[in-house]
Amino acid sequence: MLKQRLSSLKVKIEGTWLEDCLGTLNEELQAKGIRLRPHAWISSEWFSPADVPGIAIPFYLAHPRLMKLEKKMMLDVEGGTWSECMAILRHEAGHAVQHAWQPQRRRRWQQLFGLSSKRYPRHYRPNPASRRFVQHLRLWYAQSHPDEDFAETFAVWLRPRSNWRTRYAGWPALQKLEYVDELMAEIGSARPPGLSRERVDPLHQLSQTLGEHYRKKQAFYAFTPPKTYDRDLSRLFSADPRHQRAPAASAFIRRHRSQIRQLVARWTGENQLTLDAVLDDMIQRCRELDLRAAGSERKLATNFTILLTAKTTQMMFGPSRRKWIAL
């Protein structure tokens, strides 16, 4: 499959679960009195092109076999569940609304969100404790750029039963949600002036192979973990000769890595490929230190999960924290 070109994949939205998701999105827009119905097409990734009130959906979501390949190559399937797909669609609908009505030209929009003309960063450093931004997609994505801040705010506002007035009571972010509520009441029922039906980078025009696509995508999340685990691993596992008959710590980590990786990714927002690189490094150090998994396996699994979470948080937000890659 990796030798196949993206353009050769005969997948489409019609007749798949994606069609139902888009139907639900349109129902949510209608319930809010918004006239826009973003058009959608299959491409390589999630995006809403500048000045186009539409949504590109990644090809892998259109077929179960391609979802399995995405899982194998990336360890995760972004948008692969109904709830996650709807969350991303609401976010992309926020971009489509901005592209259709251009509210970023308004002074109040700029006061609340910033300048849309600000250059997109290659990296951004979120502050998880900030209450100036809503929390919708992972990695505190609203903090990456004013346009993403608006799209995230719109997504929270659009979601049925989000109870945003109570959830964000006392937060500065509530002003943004109230503005979106006022803005859409004003312009949502009007015919958008910009209704381009263009489809940017549709799948049938993409000549790269699946292998090339995934090599580029994996490189995007490449990360060299710091080699600072010895002390912590030695506290958790044992190098005492009395425990030589206990299972190797490296084998213990390999056995539990998938479950622990998914759990830590869920609660920290870190990409699973990055966590996998950290786990590979930990496994190698356990081998070199000849560490053994002595004691209760359940307790060791819990403590190792805590260790990996702590190390991940330290990498993300510690004094020597690395920069986040903007998604």
**Other beta carbons less than 10 A from residue 113's beta carbon:** 25
Mean per-residue pLDDT, 267-273: 85
Do 18 and 62 contact (CB within 8 A), yes or no? yes
Summarised one tens digit per residue, pLDDT across range 57-112 is 999 999 999 999 999 999 999 999 999 999 999 999 999 999 999 999 999 999 99
Give one DSSP letter per residue of 127-181, joined into a string: -TT-SSS---SGGGGGGS-HHHHHHHHHHHHHSTT--HHHHTTT-THHHHHHHHH
Going by C-alpha positions, the residue among 60, 65, 64, 55 that lies closest to residue 22 is: 55
Please state, in angstroms and rounded to a whole number, the distance separating the CA atoms of residues 129 and 270: 17
Residue 123: what pLDDT?
A: 79
Give the predicted TM-score (pTM) of the model: 0.81
Supply the DSSP string of 207-243, one letter for each residue. -SBHHHHHHHHHHHT-----S--HHHHHHHSB--GGG
Q: Tell me phi and psi for residue 318, to 5 degrees.
A: -75, 180
Asked whether residue 189 carries a pLDDT value surpassing 80, the answer given is yes
Higher pLDDT, 313 or 242: 242
* Secondary structure E strands in the chain: 39-43, 54-58, 123-124, 324-325
Residue 224 is predicted with a pLDDT of 65
Q: How far apart are CA 61 and CA 45, in angstroms?
A: 10
User: How would residue 324 be classed by pLDDT, with cut points 50, 70 and 90?
Assistant: very low
